[in-house]
Amino acid sequence: MIGAPHRLARVPLYTPAHRTPAYLAVNPLGTVPTLVLPDGETVTESAAILLLLSERHPEAGLVPAPGSPERPRFLRWLAYLSATVYPPTRRYYHLADHVAGAVAQAELRRTTVAEQVRLWVAMEAAFDPAPYLLGDRPSALDLAMAMIARLSAPEAGFAVACPKLAAARDAIEAHPEVAPVWRENFPDSAPDFAGDRADA
């Protein structure tokens, strides 16, 4: 959406190529995304990457300008997604990092899914997308929300619990500049994806 020149290096997660010494030297946690700037500075944390890229390319209009009426809402919910929704989203895929044993992990899975639903429902109540979260223009908030929504536990039934957010997610995923990227990274993001069903 910004159109700036870049080189994309794919880090296939959950494969032997994941957590190689070479990648851990760039990002010690081995997570994605990581942005390496032309001067060699490394930036992790998706919210920081979105803010930095938007700051360096204001012409893309992906972040409401300081002082604009949309700015507080944008900052609040970007931080919410990053600091509050992302942790249980990631935990769901790493239960064994938190507790040992099948019984404890099943219980943690259940409470993690319930937490995800509670957090999404709170965000759902705060938005009336038209069609994007902040109105008729897409913003970095849509990208952050759609990305984390796609990673939500299938049992959380995101689209059923949060139809307004799901509509905004569908709008940004259909954006002509986003759709090809999404298809490549989230091949299951078709409308009939099982993750959209509460009973999945």
11 vs 131 by CB, closer to ligand GSH = 11
Phi, psi of 132 (to 5 degrees): -90, 170
Inter-residue contact 189 to 150 (CB < 8 Å): yes
Q: Hey, is 7 helix, strand or coil? A: coil
CB of 47 to ligand GSH, least distance (A): 6
Q: Which of 155, 151, 156, 191 is nearest to 170 (CA)?
A: 191
Which range binds ligand GSH by CB under 6 A, 24-32, 35-43, 108-116, 177-185? Answer: 24-32
- For position 139 contacting ligand GSH by CB under 6 A, the verdict is no
In total, the chain counts a number of residues equal to: 200
Site for ligand GSH in 144-173 (CB under 6 A): 151
Inter-residue contact 175 to 131 (CB < 8 Å): no
- For position 84 contacting ligand GSH by CB under 6 A, the verdict is no
Q: Which residues pair with 44 in a beta bridge?
A: 34
Inter-residue contact 145 to 81 (CB < 8 Å): yes
Site for ligand GSH in 39-78 (CB under 6 A): 45-46
- Of the candidates 13, 17, 190, 198, which one interacts with ligand GSH according to CB under 6 A? 13
CB of 12 to ligand GSH, least distance (A): 10
Question: What single-letter amino acid sits at 27?
Answer: N
List of residues contacting ligand GSH (CB under 6 A):
13, 30-33, 45-46, 82, 86, 90, 151
